[in-house]
Amino acid sequence: MWQNRNVWIILCGELIAGLGLWMGIIGNLEFMQEKVPSDLMKSVILAIGLLAGIIVGPIAGRITDQKKKKTVMLYAGLGRMASVLFMFIALYTGSVFWLIAFGISIQIAASFYFPALQAAIPLIVGGSELLRMNGAHMNVATIARIIGTSLAGILLVMMSLFMLYLSSFIAYFLLFLFTLFLKIDEPDKKETKGSSKSKGGFKEVLPVIKGLPVVFMTLVLTLVPLLFLGGFNLMVIKISEIHDDQLIKGIIYSAEGIAFMIGAMAVKKMSERWSPYSIMFFFSLIVGFAQMSLFFVDSKILVVAAFAVVGFSVGCFFPTAATIFQTRMPKDFHGRFFSFRSMLERVMFQVVLLSTGFFLDLVGIQIMVVIFGVISIGLTAYFYLQFKRRVGHEDQKKAASL
């Protein structure tokens, strides 16, 4: 795998783009802290961008299946660069409206880029290397998050928000250049453009998902960690306000990110002993308990430890889920499936994001994390029982046929 030039291009491009992404996110949080006092309004602003990504999801999935993955990624890269221009206007005018325009445009670009990337990875590496590649890709993204958030904090002290977003723009430009050098072996899309397999939308994907219980169960189970991740940034802001410490933001991001990388590396060994579902059920349960432990938010040590535990758990969870999707879902439906998955996650993010802002204003972070933790544990237990019932039913059918 490591001798494949496409692997290095994707990983290096992800590192550079991730730096730009997280510098932009920290810049957005800083801008909102100055302009938007309400936690609920912060969540509404973030949710508007997610809504835009949801709306274009079906179109993005269909286009990803019809066009070459590299072409879709290139145009999405141009969209990312164009979106940063809105933030330059926002900084000049001081208007939250242009921040919203930035959020909408960057999410639309992401709606095209990430399904195309996920569909391209199985075309670049073999099935036996997919779990390792997914883990490596997520690790690089996490390294970019750690460096990006730390670098953004330093740059905010040394220079203006304008320079921070300029750095983000340069990173997206470099990603575009890296994508140009990709060489993906894809069939000629002109020959398959009119085929029924790539012409339809989500209506054709849903029966396929329903007919693959492994894919369906994994898709539903991935929603559980999102109950924590959806309100991640708002919780970090609130924790920094509780402790009156801006430095703790970087500490939390770093602790969670480092733990994520360790988990993504360890999951390969775990997969040799545990089934993919054992890994996902176990770590989604751990996420729920870690979320509830944030009730003790007054302790910096416990807060950092809770985010580290979540990071490790998610680092084991998501590479496993991604590998199942890439191997079990037919390649003809990859673009629309990953777009559908992205849309589903964006809906969940939006619900959690708005709920987080609402609960932070209404009951505070301590009660909120207990509520979300109970929901996470309850959902995991429910889906585990459903899974065991399905397995038991299939065993009974096999025994009856003998």
Which pLDDT belongs to residue 276?
78
CA atoms within 13 A on the CB side of 388: 8
Which pLDDT belongs to residue 305?
92
5-181+209-401 CATH fold: Growth Hormone; Chain: A; (1.20.1250)
Beta-sheet strands, E only, within 7-144: none
Handedness of CA 320, 324, 326, 327 (dihedral sign): positive
Handedness of CA 235, 239, 245, 251 (dihedral sign): negative
pLDDT digits (tens, 9 = 90+) for 260-300: 888 878 887 887 788 877 888 898 899 889 989 988 888 88
pLDDT digits (tens, 9 = 90+) for 130-173: 667 777 777 777 677 667 766 776 776 777 778 878 888 888 88
Distance CA 146, CA 1 (A): 25
Instruction: Confirm whether pTM is higher than 0.75.
Output: no
Say how far residue 105 (Cα) sits from the centre of its chain: 17
Per-residue pLDDT of the chain (402 residues; tens, 9 = 90+): 666 777 888 788 778 877 777 777 777 777 777 777 776 777 777 778 777 777 777 777 778 777 788 888 888 889 888 888 988 888 888 888 888 888 888 888 888 887 787 777 777 776 666 667 777 777 777 677 667 766 776 776 777 778 878 888 888 888 888 888 878 776 655 544 444 454 555 567 777 777 777 777 788 788 788 878 777 777 887 888 888 777 787 788 778 878 888 887 888 788 778 887 788 889 889 988 998 998 888 888 898 999 999 889 988 888 888 877 777 777 767 667 777 777 777 677 767 777 887 888 888 888 888 988 898 888 888 878 877 777 655 544 544 444
Domain layout of the chain by residue ranges: 5-181+209-401
For the chain, report the end-to-end CA distance as a whole number of angstroms.
Answer: 42
